[in-house]
Amino acid sequence: MINANHLKVFNSVATNLSFSRAAEELYTSQPSVSTQIKKLEEYLSIRLFEQHGKKVFLTEAGTTLFLYSQKVFSLIDEAVHAIEELKGGHKGRLLIGASTTPGVYLLPKILGTYKSMYPGIVPKLEIANSQRIVEMVNTNKLDICIVGEEIITPPELHVEPWLKDELFLIVPDQHPWTNKASVHVRDLEHEQFIFRERGSSTRSIIENILANHGLKVSIALELNNTEAVKQAVSAGLGVSIVSGFSVIGHSGIVCLPIEGLGFYRMFNIIYHKNKIFSPATKSFSAFLKEVKQPRNI
């Protein structure tokens, strides 16, 4: 008989396509994971994984079982959520995801206010680039997330506009432009730019807007978080374009408007269309929709 533990271990290996990452996720050893998978394969009398070098792949049988295992765990989650609904309390988990800008500069304050209203709810906030966060929502590792609008989302996900964000050009405070009232868009072509990594929604919107205006800029440096970008600009390594929410009170850099160029994007609330919301997720989703400006929370 397939027991729940065998299926849980299998689902983790199949999701990560890695025995070692599954072991980390399940807080167990890699030999233990391998043993559980071997027992499951012996019971089914068929191989579920094949390994080519260091890479792990699902066999056809493994792919079939993976589809059913996701349904099983989805039903288990629905059962737990249904019981939470019957309890009608304000306790439980809340798995939230966010891209860097909303995750670092908006959600901590929002969660602080939310926690004061619902002290029995324990939120967990996962911060990564937008592409990774959307993947985690789509694979049911997160209940709900907030990312920029530029990332293409699978059709299984519900996307809802939440809050408008304005992006600004930032330069070091010793830059010749600091005395200007504004910068012409064509001046950007002569600067060295510091960009976020690919997969970041901030980078996506910047590249799209520059391309729409026929601009090509030189990339001097790529960094994987906004704080590092601001520090690099402050150190004189180049210029960048970042969210207005991230530059409030930051010393060493100056924000400048760009003539003929507006950088705006929406932050979106995203969740799976088939997601059964727990009371905690429902209350948090409703709370987010009441937020008009984070400074008013």
- Give per-residue pLDDT as tens, 219-260: 889 998 888 999 999 999 999 988 888 887 667 899 888 887
Mean pLDDT of 137-160: 90
Mean pLDDT of 151-161: 90
Beta strand pairing status for 121-127 and 92-98? parallel
In terms of residue numbers, what domain contains 184? 164-265
**Residues 5-55 pLDDT 10s:** 889 999 999 999 999 999 999 999 999 999 999 999 999 999 999 988 889
pLDDT in the model for residue 297: 46
* 147 in the same domain as 226: no
Distance, CA of 175 to CA of 17 (rounded, Å)? 48
* 258 in the same domain as 176: yes
Asked whether residue 157 carries a pLDDT value surpassing 90, the answer given is yes
Count of the separate structural domains present in the chain = 3
Give the count of beta carbons closer than 10 Å to the beta carbon of residue 83. Answer: 10
* 196 in the same domain as 254: yes
Distance, CA of 196 to CA of 221 (rounded, Å)? 9
Give the count of beta carbons closer than 10 Å to the beta carbon of residue 97. Answer: 28
- DSSP annotation of 90: S
Task: Kindly report the CATH number assigned to the domain that includes residue 128.
Answer: 3.40.190.10
**Residues 249-259 pLDDT 10s:** 667 899 888 88
Model confidence at 293, in pLDDT bands (50, 70, 90)?
A: low
Token reading at 23 = 């072991």
Cβ 138 vs Cβ 213: under 8 Å: no
**Residues 165-184 pLDDT 10s:** 888 889 999 999 988 888 88
* 185 in the same domain as 59: no
Alpha helix segments (H runs only) across 166-278:
201-212, 226-234
Task: Kindly report the CATH number assigned to the domain that includes residue 33.
Answer: 1.10.10.10
* 142 in the same domain as 75: no
Cα 290 to its chain centre, rounded Å, is 22
Distance, CA of 194 to CA of 191 (rounded, Å)? 10
Cβ 197 vs Cβ 224: under 8 Å: yes
* 105 in the same domain as 156: yes
* 272 in the same domain as 157: yes
**Percent helix, strand, coil in the chain (nearest 5)?**
45, 25, 25
pLDDT in the model for residue 83: 74
Q: What is the mean pLDDT of the chain?
A: 87
Please name which of 266, 101, 235 lies closest in space to residue 172, comparing C-alpha atoms.
235
* 243 in the same domain as 96: no
* 107 in the same domain as 92: yes
Residue 95 half-sphere exposure, CB side, CA atoms within 13 Å? Answer: 13
Contacts of residue 256, Cβ cutoff 8 Å, sequence gap at least 6 = 168, 169, 170, 171, 177, 178, 180, 182, 183
Token reading at 200 = 């970041």
Least confident of 73-87, 113-127, 157-171, 251-265: 73-87
Last residue of a domain, one of 85, 120, 141: 85
Last residue of a domain, one of 85, 110, 140: 85
* 215 in the same domain as 74: no
pLDDT in the model for residue 201: 78
Task: Kindly report the CATH number assigned to the domain that includes residue 257.
Answer: 3.40.190.290
* 283 in the same domain as 137: yes
Contacts of residue 183, Cβ cutoff 8 Å, sequence gap at least 6 = 169, 177, 256, 257, 258, 259
DSSP lists the bridge partners of residue 161 as 268
Last residue of a domain, one of 34, 52, 85: 85
Q: Cα dihedral sign for 243, 101, 144, 88? A: negative
Distance, CA of 48 to CA of 42 (rounded, Å)? 10
* 144 in the same domain as 156: yes
